[in-house]
Amino acid sequence: MKLRFTCFRGIYPYGYFVQWTIDSLDPGESGPFKFSLYRSGAEGPWDRVFENQDQYSYYDKFSSIPSTLDVLQPNELRMFTDPVYKIECTLPSGKVLSAIDQIKPQDPDRKMAQYLRKVQRDFRLSLKFNGTRVALLKKRRWGVRCLKCFDRRTKEVIRANCRECWGTGFIGGYWNPFITYGRSGISATGAASPITPMQRLDAASCTFWLPDNPSLEGDDIVIRFADQKRFRVDQQIETQIQLHPAHQEVNCEQVPADNILYRLPVSPDVENPAY
């Protein structure tokens, strides 16, 4: 098992967005996973951002600055500093993952950093005109195993239509939806491909252009509210400026209409998770 960061974003001028995952999770681990995030100006000493919470990302907001010019206070997380983040995880078995990833952002040079921020802003604004509202559902990759459909002997999910885990093997199935705007189009491949042996083979391909965070991975779900169609992520590609992502492009397969995921309730009016 390995704990690692998967996403680091500067949400200018509001703060930093960090995201992580666990690779090669031991199938025997079932229960609450406790994460703790630390921040430092170098590589120590560490300031604790939060501890003992179960989540896959965090939005580290800057300290507030009064809007009046008469009373200005320094911002404790200025954009020209390079904070270092450290994540720790206590597994249900009590073991603490010793492999701790640290990420130190390296901003582009001053001129390119301005272009990057403008591209990110312009892209988000353009989606409100040529896109539509979508919900991004991150698949749960750790947590409490589902007792109904997870076979402890084979370590596999044996039911795809479970309403407890929605076919993921973990209670809840997916994290709280992230509501944003996205633009969709027909994929160049266009051909249908099988999803599971228990589902139909008439799924259509589709490509979504989305903001750069949260970063999507394979088997995550995109819901298009305009027609209530649901898509499973196959591949994610980032458009970058000097290795810094400006937005992401995800190739998806449409989930068949008889899939259990269409019974998963998602409202377009929910508030985004408080990272």
Q: What pLDDT score was predicted for residue 225?
A: 92
Q: How far is CA 163 from CA 167, 226, 264, in A?
A: 8, 24, 8
Question: Is residue 12 classed exposed, middle or buried when 0-12, 13-18 and 19+ CB atoms within 10 A define those classes?
Answer: middle
What class does CATH assign to 2-106?
A: mainly beta
Task: Report percent pLDDT > 90 for the chain.
Answer: 29
For the entire predicted model, the pTM comes to 0.80
Arithmetic mean of pLDDT, 175-194: 73
Region of poorest pLDDT, from 40-49, 62-71, 139-148: 62-71
Are the C-beta atoms of 211 and 127 separated by less than 8 Å? Answer: yes
Q: How far is CA 70 from CA 13, 67, 73, 76, 84, in A?
A: 21, 9, 10, 19, 32
Tell me: cis bond preceding 105? Omega within 30 of 0 counts: no
Q: How far is CA 96 from CA 26, 87, 144, 162, 230, in A?
A: 13, 11, 17, 31, 36
CATH architecture of 126-139+174-263: Beta Barrel (2.40)
CA angle in degrees (0–180, nearest 5) for 72-77-81: 115
Question: Is residue 269 classed exposed, middle or buried when 0-12, 13-18 and 19+ CB atoms within 10 A define those classes?
Answer: exposed
Rounded distance between C-alpha atoms, residue 215 and residue 238, angstroms:
9
Dihedral (C-alpha) 141, 143, 145, 150: value to the nearest 10 degrees?
0
Q: What pLDDT score was predicted for residue 167?
A: 85
Q: What pLDDT score was predicted for residue 232?
A: 94
Q: How far is CA 160 from CA 77, 167, 198, 237, in A?
A: 45, 4, 7, 28
Q: What pLDDT score was predicted for residue 200?
A: 44
Annotated domain spans of the chain: 2-106, 126-139+174-263
Which candidate, 210, 215, 139, places its Cα nearest to that of 175?
A: 139
**Identical fold between 2-106 and 126-139+174-263:** no
Q: What pLDDT score was predicted for residue 198?
A: 44
DSSP state of 229: E
Give yes or no for residue 36 having a pLDDT over 60: yes
